Amino acid sequence: MPTEEGSTPEQPPTNASAAAEANTLWRRWTADTGPFYQSCAILGFDHLSEANVPRREGTEKPGIQFCTGLLRLALRHIPILLLLTASTAIVVGQLNDFYLPFGTYLPLGVVSVQAEYLLAVPLGILWIALLARIFRESVSTDDFQIHRTLVFSGTALCLLVGVGYSVYLVVTNRVTGSQQHLAFRSGYFLFILLEGHLAYDGLVLRSENLFWNLKNSRIVDSAQYDAFRRQLANSLGALEVGPYTLPLGSEGRTIGPLRISPGVLFAIVLLAPVTPLPLLTFETSHPLLGHIGYGITVALQIFLVAVLFQFVVLLWQFSKLLSGDYLDYKPFHPDEHGGYRALGRFATRVNLMLAVGGGYVAFRFLTGGLTHLHGFANGSVLWVVTWVISFLGPMVVYAAVVVLWVYFSFWRMHRQMRRGRREKIQKLQRKARDGVEDGGASNDDQMEDLELDAPAWESLQGAPTWPIKRRSLMGIAVLDTVPVLATLLI
pLDDT at 182: 61
Mean pLDDT (whole number) for 190-217: 92
Q: Percent of the chain at pLDDT above 70?
A: 71
Calpha distance 365→481 (Å, rounded): 15
Whether residue 486 is predicted with pLDDT greater than 80 in this model: the reply is no
**Helix axes 185-198 and 146-171, enclosed angle (nearest 10):** 150
Mean pLDDT (whole number) for 155-166: 87
pLDDT at 223: 82
Q: Where are the beta strands (DSSP E) in 173-329?
A: 239-241, 244-246, 253-255, 258-260
Provide the pLDDT confidence category of residue 385 given band limits of 50, 70 and 90.
confident
Q: Percent of the chain at pLDDT above 90?
A: 22
> What average pLDDT is seen over the chain?
77
Calpha distance 284→226 (Å, rounded): 57
pLDDT tens column, 18-44: 445 667 889 999 888 888 998 999 887
Whether residue 139 is predicted with pLDDT greater than 60 in this model: the reply is no
**Helix (H/G/I), strand (E/B), else coil: 57:** coil
Q: Which residues contact 282 (CB under 8 A, 6 or more apart)?
A: 98, 290, 291, 294
CA 212 to chain centre: 18
